[in-house]
Structure 1
Amino acid sequence: MNKVILIGRLTRDPEVRYSDGGHTVARFSVAVDREFKKENEQTADFIGCVAFGKTAEFVEKYFFQGNKIVIEGRIQTGSYTNQDGQKVYTTDVVAENVEFGESKNSNNTAGAPSEARPAPSSAIGDGFMKIPDSVEDEGLPFN
């Protein structure tokens, strides 16, 4: 089974190309923090990713440098011969499912004090929505 899940931040805006056949391809790099760190060693891995079709269009429209992203996909290896005649080996994560790693509100107000952030009228401090007293317990799908 070839399955990868990554959570990290885009290192640059996605590079999007369109083929003559109308196919969309988005290439981007994600910085993923390492769980265990050794002294004098980098603390993140920079992983090349590629998305196709609707997933590529979604990445192009909603993700930019610095955004936190969750990627589910697979590792794909390949090779090609460059202009100097040398064989180059590649490894990419093919993104099959992409999700936001943080809310838009937390992204737009990064660094702002929490009291300066406007909260929705129905939200309470912990990020959950307050259920009005008029809703009876039997009307909820959970307890």
Structure 2
Amino acid sequence: MAGTVNRVILVGRLGKDPEIKYTPSGMALATFSLATDESRKDSEGNRQQITEWHNIVLWGKQAEIAGEFLRKGKLIYVEGRLQTRSWDDAQSGEKRYRTEVQGNRFVMLGSRAEQGESPESPRASTAQPTRTSPDQPLEEEEDLPF
């Protein structure tokens, strides 16, 4: 199907430190939750803060950098694509689903003092986007307007 787009851009705070695992071939895998907030007015006109939680997955060098520098509460920018996995639950036999953002780039935001970093710590992941499937071409990185 030509003309479709699967691209996600989020700015939010980590809900927990990244969990780092390695595949049998030795490739790093980082998973963490990211919270985004939205403010809405309810039916009575009162402001309500709505938090949405997103499951983020990073691979390779991106995952290693995330494991080293990302911590719970840090503000980050992440971009990638949505992917839904399915499996059969071993206990109940039910089909389970999990939608994740397969991240291909992230940037740590906020001041260095807020981030708790030393001046020489990197703020943006310098690793090239990792190809997560052979049929997905790597895109040239675009300049962001901010």
TM-score exceeds 0.5: yes
Q: Structure 2 vs 1, CA of residues 87 and 55 (structure 1 numbering), >3 Å: closer, same or farther?
A: same
* Cross-structure match for 1:20: 24
- State yes or no: 1:62 paired with 2:79: no
Q: Return 5+ residue gaps in structure 2 as ranges.
A: 118-146
2:67 maps to amino acid:
E
* Cross-structure match for 2:139: none
Q: Return 5+ residue gaps in structure 1 as ranges.
A: 110-143
TM-score normalised by length of structure 1 = 0.70
Structure number with the higher helix fraction is 1
Shift of 1:41: 5.9
For residues 30-60 of structure 1, the C-alpha deviation after alignment (integer angstroms, 9 at most, x for no partner) is 0101253546965210111101111111110
Q: Which residue of 9, 16, 19 maps to 2:13? A: 9
2:96 maps to amino acid:
V
Output the CA distance in 1 between the equivalents of 2:10 and 2:31: 15
Identity %: 35
Output the CA distance in 1 between the equivalents of 2:53 and 2:41: 15
Q: Structure 2 vs 1, CA of residues 45 and 37 (structure 1 numbering), >3 Å: closer, same or farther?
A: farther
Which of the two has higher C-alpha Rg? 1
Output the CA distance in 2 between the equivalents of 1:3 and 1:48: 15
1:57 is paired with a residue of what secondary structure? helix
RMSD value, Cα:
1.9
Output the CA distance in 1 between the equivalents of 2:107 and 2:62: 10
2:40 is paired with a residue of what secondary structure? coil
> Would the aligned equivalents of 1:37 and 1:43 in 2 still touch at CA under 8 Å?
no
- State yes or no: 1:106 paired with 2:114: yes
Q: Structure 2 vs 1, CA of residues 42 and 105 (structure 1 numbering), >3 Å: closer, same or farther?
A: closer
Paired residues, number = 109
Q: Which residue of 50, 55, 72 maps to 1:48? A: 55
Provide runs of 4+ in structure 1 moved above 6 Å: none
* Cross-structure match for 1:81: 88
Shift of 1:89: 1.0
